Amino acid sequence: MSQYAVILICSGIIPLILSLWPPLGIYRHWKALVVSLGSVIAVFGTWDIYAVSRGHWFFDPDGVFPFRFINLPLEEALFFVVIPFCCIFTWEAVIYLTKRIPFQSNSTGDTRA
């Protein structure tokens, strides 16, 4: 397995599993998720394809699978799905938690705990 694939799996496995947790329910908003990920893929994927074709950077053949998708390694193409998904998951989890964890306001202006 490539090093890049291992990093993607380690980054995405917990958010993927927890996104199926019913109270969080990210899967219920799948249309918005598809639009968000599609936007990231369209903008940054296009830019990445262009940069690689121009030789601005390359991918070490020893660190990625040999399969290419529009001149990008499979892992790089999956990067544009996995990492934005992790960001969306984190955002949704923070929103969920801030609605459920009572925060106390300190009206005296004292910043000490």
pLDDT tens digits for range 8-44: 999 999 999 999 988 888 888 899 999 999 999 999 9
106: in domain: no
Residues of the domain holding 58: 3-99
Structure tokens of 112? 């000490």
33 touches 19 (CB < 8 A): no
Q: Are 93 and 23 in contact (CB under 8 A)?
A: no
**CB-based contact 15:85 (threshold 8 Å):** yes
For residue 44, tell me if it sits in a domain: yes
Domain count, the chain: 1
Is residue 23 in some structural domain?
yes
Q: For residue 107, tell me if it sits in a domain.
A: no
Question: Would 105 be classed as within a structural domain?
Answer: no
Q: Examine residue 112 and state whether it is found in any structural domain, yes or no.
A: no
Does some domain include residue 109? Answer: no
CA-closest candidate to residue 79, choices 60, 64, 66, 94: 64
Q: Residue 4: which of 86, 62, 47, 68 has the closest Cα? A: 62
Question: How high is the pLDDT of residue 105?
Answer: 62
- Residue 13 in domain: yes
Beta bridge partners of 69: 72
More confident residue, 110 or 15: 15
Q: What is the pLDDT of residues 73-89, one digit of tens each?
A: 999 999 999 999 999 99
pTM: 0.82
